[in-house]
A = this chain, B = another copy of it.
Amino acid sequence: MTHTIGVFDSGFGGLTVLRALIRRFPRAQFAFLGDTARLPYGSKSRRTIARYAAQSAQFLVREQGAEFLVIACNTASALALDAIQDAVPVPVLGVIEPGASAARAASRSGDVLVMATDATVQSHAYATACRARGLRAIEKACPLLVPLVEEGWTDPDTHTGAVTAEVIRIYLEELNAQAAAEGLDPDTLVLGCTHYPLLRPFISRAVSPGIRVIDSAEAVADAAALIFAQAELPCPILPQAGEGTKEEIDPQTALRFFATDSVEKFERLGSRFLDRPVGKVELVDLGG
């Protein structure tokens, strides 16, 4: 029997999380919803975000039969995870706790750097999750990175890629200066935004030697695998040995995509995030 994992984001950056999940769970069905009509969540109040996220989660569970839900959106994970868990009767996994857990496993010094959007940094969700694991974290808002990714300036060997490389160099320089000023000795960098995996080649090249880079998308897939392996859930979607490469999945049957607006942009940009064609995106109306 095939099970459905629901993946929710305010936009389509969460497709990088879906990509990591597909690699890990090639036998699962996936339903992805981007609440594109109401993005960005980052500038909205906690109550509004909780209402939007709960509606989106209910769509994936009630209409699409999701038995497990991944919140592939840092803002919703930071501000609305409880509200989503209250709204649906299935297990819900956010991106922040897995990212912090992966940082805990990776760091020896206990000092961690976090790059994220302005809204995520203002929530201090990563700092809080890190502190709960005995880590000290320095967070930095990097508001140019999402537009650089959406502009497609992500090829390191071009003159547009050179701009992206320089922006990342400046952000990391400022982040390291902040860490030094507070007496930290960081050895781990958390990519705290679902767009950032597309910048990983730049970031890996720009970080100081010895810094481990944690991709939240990979961390979420790892955390989901752990949950399923521990068999604590009614939805044991286990990977089979030898599976997990993109050739083995039929995207027409295994993947369904939904958006509340901007289907055109989703279809156009989504394939870069997912690393395979997105195909048809279905427009849905979740109401106000």
Interface residues of A (CB under 8 A from B): 36-37, 39-40, 43-45, 143-144, 147-148, 150-151, 159-160, 162-163, 166-167, 170, 261-262, 288
Contacts and interface: CB of A to CB of B under 8 A. Distances in A.
A163 B143 CA distance: 14
Contact of A151 (B39, B43, B144): B144
Contact of A147 (B39, B144, B160, B261): B144
19 contacts: A36-B43, A37-B43, A37-B44, A39-B43, A43-B261, A143-B147, A143-B151, A144-B144, A144-B147, A144-B148, A144-B151, A147-B147, A159-B170, A160-B170, A163-B163, A163-B166, A163-B167, A163-B170, A166-B166
Contacts of A166: 162-163, 166
A1 to B, nearest CB: 39
A166 B147 CA distance: 15
A43 B37 CA distance: 7
Contacts of A144: 144, 147-148, 151
A160 B148 CA distance: 15
A148 B162 CA distance: 16
A162 B37 CA distance: 35
Give the interface centre of A39, A147, A150, A261 by most chain B CB atoms within 10 Å.
Answer: A147
